[in-house]
Amino acid sequence: MGQYTAPLRDIQFVMHELLDITSVLKQIPQHVDVDADVINQVVEEGGKFAAKVLFPLNQIGDREGCHLDTTTHKVTTPTGFADAYRQFVDGGWGALACDPEYGGQGLPVFVNNCIYEMMNSANQAWTMYPGLSHGAYECIHAHGTPEQKTTYLPHLTSGEWTGTMCLTESHCGTDLGLLRTKAEPQMDGSYKLTGGKIFISAGEHEMSSNIVHLVLARLPGAPKGTKGISLFIVPKYLPNADGSVGARNTITCGAIEEKMGIHGNSTCQMNLDEATGWLIGEGGKGLNAMFVMMNAARLGVGMQSLGLTEVSYQNALVYAKDRLQMRSLSGPKAPDKEADPIIVHPDVRRMLLSNKAYAEGGRAFTYFIAMQIDLELGHPDPAVRKDAGDLVALLTPIVKAFVTENGWIGTSEAMQVFGGHGYISEWGMEQYVRDARINMIYEGTNAIQSLDLLGRKILPDNGAKLKKFGALVEAFIKENMADEAMKEFIEPLADVAEKVGKLTMEIGMKAFQNPDEVGAAAVPYLRVVGHMVYSYFFARMAKIALAKQASGDTFYVAKLATTRFYFARLLPEIAMLVRQARSGSKVLLDLDAALF
Print pLDDT tens along the chain (596 aa). Answer: 799 999 999 999 999 999 999 999 999 999 999 999 999 999 999 999 999 999 999 999 999 999 999 999 999 999 999 999 999 999 999 999 999 999 999 999 999 999 999 999 999 999 999 999 998 999 999 999 999 999 999 999 999 999 999 999 999 877 887 899 999 999 999 999 999 999 999 999 999 999 999 999 999 999 988 888 999 999 999 999 888 999 999 999 999 999 999 999 999 999 999 999 999 999 988 888 877 777 888 999 999 999 999 999 999 999 999 999 999 999 999 999 999 999 999 999 999 999 999 999 999 999 999 999 999 999 999 999 999 999 999 999 999 999 999 999 999 999 999 999 999 999 999 999 999 999 999 999 999 999 999 999 999 999 999 999 999 999 999 999 999 999 999 999 999 999 999 999 999 999 999 999 999 999 999 999 999 999 999 999 999 999 999 898 999 999 999 999 999 999 999 999 999 999 999 999 999 999 99
Cβ within 8 Å of residue 97, ≥6 positions away? 104, 105, 106, 107, 108, 109, 111, 112, 134
Please state the pTM of the whole predicted model: 0.97
**Reduced to 3 states, what is the DSSP secondary structure of residue 173?**
coil
**Beta carbons of 299 and 287 less than 8 angstroms apart:** no
Answer for the pair 59, 53: CB distance below 8 angstroms, yes or no.
Answer: no
Residue 420 has a CB neighbour count (10 Å cut-off) of 7
Q: What is the CATH number of domain 163-284?
A: 2.40.110.20
Active site residue: 206, 443, 491, 498, which one?
Answer: 443
| Residue 420, C-beta contacts closer than 8 angstroms, at least 6 positions apart | none
Catalytic annotation on 443?
yes
Domain 8-143 sits in CATH 2.60.120.260 = no
Beta-ladder partners of 278: 233
Sequence ranges of the domains in the chain: 8-143, 163-284, 462-596
